[in-house]
Structure formats: structure tokens, C-alpha cells
Amino acid sequence: MNKTLKPLAELTDASSGEEIAEPTLSIDIKNKILEYMNNKYTDENCPKILIMSSYLDPTFKARYLNSEEESQVLRHTHEEAEQIEQLHDNELEIEIDKEQNSFLPTHPKVMKLGKFFKNRASSGSTRTQSTIEKELNHHQFLSLLASDSDPFEYWKYCCVFLPRLSKLAKKYLSTC
């Protein structure tokens, strides 16, 4: 913070025209800016995002994570990958329904009893969980990239055999 606010201190000192500038206005300005920066960068989600980004970045992976952080990242990655998979499945169902209904004459939609009580088979969710676990294991055992490599190029290549993780990587690496 001091490195960031040093130019501001020089500016306010020069603008006051005194050798040792401590007028109340300068102090108030500095305090407000310091408070704003502390509030902005002390968000509880910021470290989580950085940890996830570093794990999904193939130049770092879990190199700088302790065992507790790594287990949290794996759990969080697994949960988010499941959410992405469910969202993708729902979008596919909507598209299929639209395609099927485009050929039928337009009538008011009536909720059918079968659709109302539709239950998803548990085998699909366990299959999704096992594929996500396989992707996570595969990602862990892949070698690290050189530090000057582009992680987006890596994930463009890996999206074929790590599709869920590549979506997560795109999300997290784009934020940092």
C-alpha cells in the first residue's frame, strides 16, 4: 500500500506548497483513498479466486499451494464442474425441446404428468462425478508448462480431453 500511495503523498505535498505538508485536507484525502483501497482489496473472495486461478494455470498448478488449500481447491473445482455440467445438460434439454416443438403446430403448452414428475437417473450424476474426478486426476499428473507459455493455448489444446476443466480455466484465468 505504501508503494501505491507514495506518488499521491508527493502530489499532495507539492500541491500544498510547503516543505512538510500536513494540512487537514491532504490528510483527509489520503485517509479516504487508503480506506477505499483497503476495502477494495480485502474482499474475502479475492484469495479464493487467485488460488483457483493458480491451480488451473498450467504453469503453477498446485506448486505454491499447501495441502489444505489444495484439498479446498479440488473440492471447489469438483463442485463447480458439476454445476457447469448440470447447466450444460439443462441447456441441451431446452434446445431439444425447442427443436421438437418447432415442427409441431403451435398450441398452448400443457404440462404433462410425466414431465412434472420427471426424475433424473442417479447413474447420470455418478457418471458425471467420475468423469470430473478423472479430469482432475489427469490434470494433476500432466507436466507443468514453462513460465513463458500461454495458459489459454494450453487449455485450447486440452479442451478435447478435459472439457469441464477447460471451461473452468477459461472462467478463472480470464478474471485474473
pLDDT in tens, the chain (176 residues): 566 666 766 666 666 665 555 566 777 887 888 888 888 777 778 888 888 888 888 888 888 888 888 888 889 988 988 888 887 766 656 666 665 555 555 555 555 656 655 554 444 566 667 888 888 888 888 888 888 888 888 888 888 888 888 888 888 888 76
Alpha carbon distance 95, 103 (integer Å):
13
Residues 86-103: tens digit of each pLDDT = 877 666 566 666 655 555
Q: Is residue 169 assigned to a domain? A: yes
Q: Is residue 138 assigned to a domain? A: yes
The answer to whether residues 58 and 142 belong to one domain is yes
The answer to whether residues 22 and 79 belong to one domain is no
**CA 127 to each of CA 92, 97, 122, 132: distance values in angstroms, whole numbers, following the listed order:** 17, 24, 9, 9
Q: Which grid coordinates belong to 65?
A: 499451494
Number of domains present in the structure of the chain? 2
pTM over 0.75: no
At residue 44, the 3 state secondary structure works out as coil
Q: Is residue 77 assigned to a domain? A: yes
The answer to whether residues 87 and 131 belong to one domain is yes
- Give the dihedral of Cα atoms 15, 17, 22, 26; nearest 10 deg: -20
The answer to whether residues 54 and 93 belong to one domain is yes
Question: Which amino acid is residue 31, in one-letter code?
Answer: N
